[in-house]
C-alpha cells in the first residue's frame, strides 16, 4: 500500500481511519464515538467502548496459542532463563491479581512498581491492568529521593518491589532504598509486596510488608476475572526521564493505548503472532511499557525480558539470545550499539542471526557512524524511530508494514500516521519551509495512545505542552528539527539545547553531528556556555576512539584544532566551539540520554542540579577535571 495515502487518510479522516485500526483489538462493549475532541487539547478515543489491556495481551491468545511462549525472562546476572507460555502467564497474572485484591487494591487505585527486570514485574503490570488498578512503574535505578517524589505524586496504596536488582554481577539493594523513600515521603502506602530473590537480606515491616512467595502460595488456583474498563479509564502513570527538569506524570488511557500498540506492532514493527520480540529497554521507561510488555503480547508475540548488560558475559550475549529464541524484531537504543561497537565484532559474528528481520533504535539521535556500522554487521534494515514518553509510540519512523519505504541516514523518518506533524518557526509561529529549522509540533488531536493529561494536573498539561505558539494551540515536542522536501525529518536537538552565539541560534545537536564526522571522535556533547562577549559560546566534550592521541598537550591541541576546522568547514566559524575537551565518559541518564543541562551547569560554575537519573556520577568528575586543564 502507498504510505502517503495511508497517512493522509489518518489525518483527513481520523475517525474512519482509527475505527479500522480499532478492529485489531478485542472489545467487550463496542464504542459509541471514535473521537471526542470537544474540549481541545484533550482528546478522548473510542468513547463508551469497554476493553482491557491484560485481556488483549494474554487471555485472547489462550484459544489459539495457549502453549506458545509469551514471556521469556532472561537474567545474565543470576544466570536464569524461564519461558512462560500464554497459559502460564495467564495463571501467574491471576495469582498476582488475587494478591493485590487481597491487599485491598481497588479499581482506580495506584500501584507503584519498583522492580528489577524480572518476570514478576510484568505479572504486576498485567495484574494491575486486569483489575483496573493504575500502575506507575518507577525505574529500579532511581534513588530514594526521586522515588519519594513519585510516591507523593502517585499516592499508591500498594508498592510492589524486590529485595534487590543486579547489575554487572553485583546486587543492587532495592528494599533499603524503598524503606528510605517511604520514610521521606509524606504519603504512606498501606502495603509493600516484596519478591525475595535471595540477593540481599530483607527485614519485613510487620503489618506493612508482605512476602510474595507466601502470598502466592495462598492463591495458587486464583481465578480473577477481567475488569472491563471504559476506553478512557486510566491505565498507567509514567514519569518522563527528567532529562530537562522536573519529571511529568504522563497519564495514559486503556482503549486508545491498546489500539495504538496493536496498530504500531503491525504497521511499524511488523510483528506476527508466534514470533519473538526482543526490546532491550527497561520496564521503567516508556519503551518497556509499550514494546516489552503490552505491544508484543497484544500482537501475540513472545517477548523477552532481559536483566543484564549488553556486554556480560561478553558482547555477544544479545546475539546469542537472538539465535536461541529466533528473534525476528529487536528494539534497542543507539547508546547500547555504541557500547557494542567498542568490542570485537567476532563476538556477534559467531551467531546465526538469520531470524532477525530488522533492528529498531530510539531514545536519542542515531548518528550515521553507529547506524552504518550496525547495519553492516547485521545485514538488516536499521529503523530509527523518534517519540516521547508522552506519545507512547513513534511520531517519526518508516512504517514498513504499510510500505517498504527507504530510510534516510540521520533521519528518524517521516511522520507516522495519526500525527499531524509541523515544523514551526519559534519566533513567528509560522510553518517552516523545507530544510528550514523550527520546533517539531503536532496539531491536535493527538492520535490514540498518547498521553491524556499530566496526572492530577490538567492545567500543567495545557500549560506545558499546548501553550508554546502564539497563533495556534499545537503540541510542542520541545525538539528542534527540519523536514526535507521529501517529508523526512531530522531532529536537531531539544529546544532548550539551542545556543545563541552573537545572535546566531545554533542547535547543539548540529554541532555534535559535525564534530562526530571527524574520524577520531567516537562521541561528543556540546553545550552553550555563558560568554560576556558573545552571549554564549559552544563548548565540546568529546570521547576519542584512541584516547592515547590526546595524552600529550601537543596531541590534544592538534586534535582540538582539527575538530574546530571540521566545524568551520561544515557549519561556519560561528558554530566553532570555543574549546574541545577530551574525556573518557559523558554524563548520561540511565536511559542513555546526554545530561547537557548538568554539563552546562558545571561549565558555568553552577550546581549540577538533580542528578538522580545519572548513570555514572564519576562522568561529572571528568568534566570538571577537563575544565581545570
Interacting residues toward ligand ATP by CB under 6 A:
240-244, 247, 362-366, 384-389, 412, 477, 479, 491, 494, 593
- Report the distance separating Cα 51 and Cα 265, nearest Å: 18
The minimum distance between CB 364 and ligand ATP, in angstroms, equals 5
In this structure, how many other beta carbons lie within 10 angstroms of the beta carbon of residue 518?
19
**375/549 with CB nearer ligand ATP:** 375
The minimum distance between CB 64 and ligand ATP, in angstroms, equals 34
Interhelix angle 618-628/596-603, rounded to 10 degrees, is 40
**34/599 with CB nearer ligand ATP:** 599
**148/192 with CB nearer ligand ATP:** 148
The minimum distance between CB 413 and ligand ATP, in angstroms, equals 9
- Report the distance separating Cα 177 and Cα 208, nearest Å: 16
**247/256 with CB nearer ligand ATP:** 247
**267/281 with CB nearer ligand ATP:** 281
Q: What DSSP state is assigned to residue 395?
A: S
The minimum distance between CB 231 and ligand ATP, in angstroms, equals 24
Provide long-range contacts, Cβ within 8 A and 24+ apart, for 471-476: 471/429, 471/430, 472/429, 472/443, 473/40, 473/41, 473/444, 474/422, 474/424, 474/441, 474/442, 474/443, 474/444, 475/41, 475/441, 475/442, 475/443, 475/444, 475/446, 476/439, 476/440, 476/441
**166/250 with CB nearer ligand ATP:** 250
The minimum distance between CB 399 and ligand ATP, in angstroms, equals 15
Q: What DSSP state is assigned to residue 29?
A: B
Q: How many helices and strands (H and E) does the chain possess?
A: 21, 32
How far, in Å, are 249, 394, 398, 415 from residue 412 at the CA level? Answer: 26, 10, 8, 9
Q: Measured at the alpha carbon of residue 101, what is the angle toward residues 96 and 105, in degrees to the nearest 5? A: 110
Q: Name which of 258, 261, 263, 266 is nearest 230 in CA terms.
A: 258
**114/386 with CB nearer ligand ATP:** 386
**239/325 with CB nearer ligand ATP:** 239
Query: Three-class SS string for 311-356?
Result: CCCCCCHHHHHHHHHCEEEEEECHHHHHHHHCCCCHHHHCCCCCCC
The minimum distance between CB 477 and ligand ATP, in angstroms, equals 5
- Report the distance separating Cα 51 and Cα 261, nearest Å: 14
Residue 479 CB partners (closer than 8 Å, separation 6+)? 386, 439, 440, 491, 492, 493, 494, 495
The minimum distance between CB 290 and ligand ATP, in angstroms, equals 12
Q: Name which of 291, 449, 446 is nearest 362 in CA terms.
A: 291
**415/491 with CB nearer ligand ATP:** 491
The minimum distance between CB 464 and ligand ATP, in angstroms, equals 10
The minimum distance between CB 362 and ligand ATP, in angstroms, equals 5
Q: How many CA atoms lie within 13 A of 451 on its CB side?
A: 28
Pairing of strands 535-544, 579-582: parallel
Collapse the DSSP code of 471 into the 3-class scheme (helix H, G, I; strand E, B; otherwise coil) and give the result: coil
- Report the distance separating Cα 233 and Cα 451, nearest Å: 12
**231/240 with CB nearer ligand ATP:** 240
The minimum distance between CB 419 and ligand ATP, in angstroms, equals 13
The minimum distance between CB 584 and ligand ATP, in angstroms, equals 23
Span between the terminal Cα atoms of the chain, in Å = 58
Q: Measured at the alpha carbon of residue 96, what is the angle toward residues 78 and 180, in degrees to the nearest 5? A: 65
The minimum distance between CB 365 and ligand ATP, in angstroms, equals 4
**14/284 with CB nearer ligand ATP:** 284
**132/528 with CB nearer ligand ATP:** 528
The minimum distance between CB 436 and ligand ATP, in angstroms, equals 19
In this structure, what are the phi and psi dihedrals at residue 360, rounded to the nearest 5 degrees? -100, 135
**289/576 with CB nearer ligand ATP:** 289
Amino acid at each position: 500500500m502507498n504510505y502517503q495515502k495511508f497517512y493522509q487518510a489518518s489525518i483527513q479522516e481520523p475517525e474512519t481511519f482509527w475505527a479500522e485500526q480499532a478492529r485489531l483489538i478485542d472489545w467487550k462493549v463496542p464504542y459509541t464515538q471514535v473521537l471526542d475532541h470537544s474540549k481541545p487539547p484533550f482528546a478522548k478515543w473510542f468513547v463508551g467502548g469497554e476493553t482491557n489491556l491484560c485481556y488483549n495481551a494474554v487471555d485472547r491468545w489462550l484459544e489459539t496459542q495457549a502453549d506458545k511462549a509469551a514471556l521469556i525472562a532472561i537474567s545474565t546476572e543470576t544466570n536464569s532463563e524461564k519461558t512462560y507460555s500464554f497459559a502460564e502467564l495467564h495463571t501467574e497474572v491471576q495469582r498476582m491479581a488475587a494478591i493485590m485484591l487481597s491487599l485491598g487494591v481497588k479499581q482506580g487505585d495506584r500501584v507503584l512498581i519498583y522492580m528489577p527486570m524480572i518476570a514478576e514485574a510484568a505479572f504486576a503490570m498485567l495484574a494491575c491492568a486486569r483489575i483496573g488498578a493504575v500502575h506507575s512503574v518507577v525505574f529500579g535505578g532511581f534513588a530514594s529521593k526521586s522515588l519519594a517524589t513519585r510516591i507523593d505524586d502517585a499516592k499508591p496504596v500498594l508498592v510492589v518491589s524486590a529485595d534487590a536488582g543486579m547489575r554487572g554481577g553485583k546486587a543492587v539493594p532495592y528494599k533499603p532504598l524503598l524503606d528510605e523513600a517511604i520514610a521521606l515521603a509524606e504519603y504512606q502506602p498501606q502495603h509493600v509486596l516484596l519478591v525475595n530473590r535471595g540477593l540481599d537480606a530483607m527485614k519485613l515491616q510487620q503489618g506493612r510488608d508482605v512476602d510474595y512467595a507466601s502470598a502466592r502460595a495462598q492463591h495458587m488456583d486464583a481465578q480473577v476475572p477481567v475488569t472491563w474498563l471504559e476506553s478512557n479509564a486510566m491505565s498507567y502513570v509514567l514519569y518522563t526521564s527528567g532529562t530537562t527538569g522536573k519529571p511529568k506524570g504522563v497519564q495514559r488511557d486503556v482503549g486508545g493505548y491498546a489500539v495504538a500498540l496493536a496498530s504500531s506492532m503491525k504497521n511499524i514493527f511488523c510483528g506476527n503472532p508466534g514470533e519473538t520480540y526482543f526490546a532491550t529497554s527497561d520496564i521503567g521507561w516508556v519503551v518497556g511499557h509499550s514494546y516489552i510488555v503490552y505491544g508484543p503480547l497484544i500482537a501475540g508475540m513472545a517477548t523477552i525480558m532481559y536483566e543484564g548488560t549488553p556486554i556480560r558475559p561478553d558482547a555477544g550475549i544479545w546475539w546469542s539470545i537472538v539465535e536461541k529464541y529466533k528473534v525476528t524484531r529487536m528494539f534497542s537504543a543507539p547508546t547500547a550499539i555504541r557500547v557494542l561497537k567498542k568490542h570485537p565484532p567476532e563476538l556477534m559474528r559467531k551467531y546465526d542471526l538469520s531470524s532477525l528481520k530488522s533492528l529498531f533504535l530510539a531514545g536519542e539521535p542515531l548518528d550515521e557512524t553507529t547506524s552504518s556500522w550496525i547495519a553492516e554487521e547485521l545485514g538488516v534494515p536499521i529503523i530509527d524511530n523518534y517519540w516521547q514518553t508522552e506519545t507512547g509510540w513513534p511520531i517519526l519512523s518508516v512504517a514498513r508494514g504499510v510500505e517498504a519505504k527507504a530510510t534516510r541516514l540521520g533521519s528518524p523518518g517521516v511522520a507516522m500516521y495519526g500525527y499531524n506533524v509541523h515544523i514551526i518557526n519559534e519566533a513567528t509561529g509560522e510553518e517552516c519551509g523545507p530544510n528550514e529549522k523550527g520546533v517539531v509540533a503536532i496539531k491536535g488531536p493527538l492520535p490514540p495512545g498518547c498521553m491524556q493529561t499530566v496526572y492530577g494536573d490538567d492545567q500543567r498539561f495545557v500549560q506545558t505542552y499546548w501553550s508554546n505558539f502564539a497563533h495556534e494551540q499545537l503540541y510542542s515536542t520541545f525538539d528542534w528539527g527540519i523536514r526535507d522536501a521529501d517529508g523526512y525529518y531530522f531532529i536537531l536537538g531539544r529546544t532548550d539545547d539551542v545556543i545563541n552565539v552573537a545572535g546566531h541560534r545554533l542547535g547543539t545537536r548540529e554541532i555534535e553531528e559535525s564534530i562526530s564526522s571527524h574520524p577520531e571522535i567516537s562521541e561528543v556533547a556540546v553545550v552553550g556556555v555563558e560568554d560576556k562577549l558573545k552571549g554564549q559560546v559552544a563548548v565540546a566534550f568529546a570521547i576519542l576512539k584512541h584516547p592515547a592521541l590526546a595524552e600529550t598537550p601537543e596531541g590534544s591541541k592538534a586534535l582540538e584544532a582539527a575538530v574546530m576546522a571540521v566545524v568551520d568547514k561544515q557549519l561556519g566559524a560561528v558554530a566553532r566551539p570555543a574549546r574541545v575537551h577530551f574525556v573518557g565518559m559523558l554524563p548520561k541518564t540511565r536511559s542513555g540520554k546526554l545530561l547537557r543541562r548538568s554539563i552546562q551547569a558545571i561549565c558555568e560554575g553552577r550546581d549540577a542540579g538533580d542528578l538522580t537519573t545519572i548513570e555514572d556520577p564519576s562522568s561529572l568528575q571528568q568534566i570538571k577535571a577537563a575544565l581545570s586543564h
